[in-house]
Copies of this chain bind each other. A is one copy, B any other.
Amino acid sequence: MSDKILIVGAGAIGGFYGSLLARAGQQVSMVVRSDYDVVNANGIHIESTLGNWNFKPQHAVKNAADYPERADFVVLCTKVTNEIDRVELIRAVVKPETVIVLIQNGIGIEKEIAQAFPDNILISGLAFICVTRIKPGYVQHTAYGRLVFGDYPQGVSDKTTAFAAMFDESGINAVTTDNVVTARWQKTVWNAPFNPISVLSSGLDTQTVLTTQEPYLRAIMSEVAEIAKAVGHPLRDDIVDLNVDSTRTMPPYKTSMLLDFEHGRTMETEAILGNAVREAELAGVATPYLSSLYALMKLREIQIEKVRLFSN
User: Are A288 and B299 in contact, with the CB atoms below 8 A?
Assistant: no
Chain B residues in 8 Å Cβ range of A216: 291-292, 295
Contacts of A213 in B (CB 8 A): 295, 298-299
The residue on B at minimum CB distance from A223 is: B288
With both beta carbons as reference points, the residue of chain B lying nearest to A217 in the complex is identified as: B295
Return the contact of A293 from the options B201, B204, B292, B302 (Cβ within 8 A). Answer: B292
Task: Tell me whether B197 and A303 are in contact (CB under 8 A).
Answer: no
CB within 8 Å of B: which of A265-309? 288-289, 291-293, 295-296, 298-300, 302-303
Residue of B nearest to A213 (CB): B295
Contact partner of A201 (CB less than 8 A), chosen from B209, B212, B219, B299, is B299
In the complex, whether A115 has a CB less than 8 A from a CB of chain B is no
Q: What is the size category of the interface that chain A forms with chain B? A: 20 to 34
User: Who on chain B is nearest to A293 by CB?
Assistant: B292
Please determine whether A201 and B289 come into contact, CB atoms closer than 8 angstroms: no
Q: Are B302 and A201 in contact (CB under 8 A)?
A: yes
Of the listed residues A200, A209, A212, A300, the one surrounded by the most CB atoms of chain B closer than 10 A to its CB is: A200
Is A203 at the interface (CB under 8 A from chain B)?
Answer: yes
Q: Kindly identify, within residues 202 to 234 of chain A, every residue whose CB is under 8 Å from any CB belonging to chain B.
A: 202-204, 208-209, 212-213, 216, 219
Known: A200-B200, A213-B295, A295-B213. A219 touches B288 (CB 8 A): yes
Does A303 lie within 8 Å of B219, measured CB to CB? no
Query: Which one of B200, B204, B302 lies within 8 Å of A208 (CB-CB)?
Result: B302
Measured between beta carbons, the chain B residues less than 8 angstroms from A201 are 296, 299-300, 302-303
- Contact between A212 and B298, CB atoms less than 8 A apart: yes
Task: For residue A125, give the distance in angstroms from its CB to the closest CB of chain B.
Answer: 31
Q: How many angstroms between the C-alpha atoms of A208 and B219 in the bound complex?
A: 28
A197 proximity list for chain B (CB < 8 A): 296, 299
Q: Which residues of B contact A303 (CB under 8 A)?
A: 201-204
Chain B residues in 8 Å Cβ range of A296: 197, 200-201, 296
Taking the closest CB of chain B, its distance from the CB of A256, in whole angstroms, is 19
- A202 near B300 with CB under 8 A, answer yes
Chain A interface (Cβ < 8 Å from any Cβ of B): 197, 200-204, 208-209, 212-213, 216, 219, 288-289, 291-293, 295-296, 298-300, 302-303
A-B contact pairs, 22 of them (CB 8 A): A200-B200, A200-B296, A200-B299, A201-B302, A201-B303, A202-B202, A202-B303, A203-B303, A204-B302, A204-B303, A208-B302, A212-B298, A212-B299, A212-B302, A213-B295, A213-B298, A213-B299, A216-B292, A219-B288, A288-B288, A292-B292, A292-B293
Q: A216-B295, A292-B293 are in contact. List 6 more A-B contacts (CB 8 A).
A: A200-B200, A212-B302, A216-B292, A219-B291, A289-B292, A296-B296
